[in-house]
Amino acid sequence: MIRLQLFGLATVAAVVLCSSPAHATGDKKNGRSLVYTCNGCHGVPGSSNAYPQYPVPKIAGQNEQYLLDALHAYKAGQRAHPTMTAQAQSLSDQEIEDIAAYLSSLAPAAPKDSDAQVKKAKDLLTQSDAGKLASKCVSCHGNDGTGTAPQFPRLAGQYNEYIQHVVHEYQNGERDNPIMKPQVSNLSPDDIKQLADYFSTLPTQLEKPDELSTLKGHVQGD
């Protein structure tokens, strides 16, 4: 009897261990259907936040851990934006995983080193004034602007005005982040503009054009 009970406990323990993977992974297919509700804002190029006015950021192709962090920060109210807080609070943690898995899977392949545009970007980084300013950002955001680790957001191809808006917010503390604030505290408005011009025009874009047209197609209802 005692033996049987012990055996039973061991079985339960084994099942628990097997059913809790170290890292839960998102279901991209479910993420894709959940993202339809987001496309009214994020899938339409030129869509703006109202007050203050700035472009709704591109999220297709963004890095997975950054997406998870951003959605959890909105959900917890740590990143203040009433619309996004409401959106994130309507999602379960599993749905957030699914969305992050799907959106990050849309990342375009890194351009080949032989690509003339990449060479141009590298030359810009070492030779232009904007590139010199950006050289203090690339340890995290990457030479190509795609992020050196999944928790660092991609900046390549992000909207210019969104980048400028966010850097001003880090400076004035409206977006409160202990890593980013010291990075940008000494930048002048002109430096910020140059950096935004630099990162927003790097060749690695945030979304694949074919994906974006699918998203737009849905929003337009065709």
Cis peptide before 45 (omega within 30 of 0): no
Q: 126: burial class by Cβ within 10 Å (0-12, 13-18, 19+)?
A: exposed
Instruction: Give the residues lining the site for ligand HEC (CB under 6 A).
Output: 37-38, 40-42, 49, 56-57, 59, 67, 69-71, 79, 81, 83-84, 87, 99, 136-137, 139-141, 152-153, 155, 163, 166-167, 175, 177, 179-180, 183-184, 195
Minimum distance, C-beta of residue 4 to ligand HEC, in the bound complex (Å): 49
Which amino acid is present at 131? G
> How far is it, in rounded angstroms, from Cα 166 to Cα 154?
13
Angle at 134 between CA 212 and CA 136, to 5 degrees: 125
Q: Residues with Cβ < 8 Å from 183, sequence gap 6 or more?
A: 136, 137, 170
Half-sphere exposure (Cβ direction) of 9: Cα atoms closer than 13 Å: 6
Cα–Cα distances in angstroms (integers) from residue 88 to residues 37, 82, 100, 101, 136, in the given order: 12, 10, 12, 15, 32
Q: In this complex, which beta carbon is closest to ligand HEC, that of residue 21 or of residue 52? A: 52
Minimum distance, C-beta of residue 126 to ligand HEC, in the bound complex (Å): 16
> How far is it, in rounded angstroms, from Cα 153 to Cα 100?
13
> How far is it, in rounded angstroms, from Cα 106 to Cα 137?
24
Q: Which two tokens stand for residue 98?
A: 């699914």
Minimum distance, C-beta of residue 214 to ligand HEC, in the bound complex (Å): 16
Minimum distance, C-beta of residue 195 to ligand HEC, in the bound complex (Å): 4
Minimum distance, C-beta of residue 25 to ligand HEC, in the bound complex (Å): 17
Minimum distance, C-beta of residue 218 to ligand HEC, in the bound complex (Å): 13
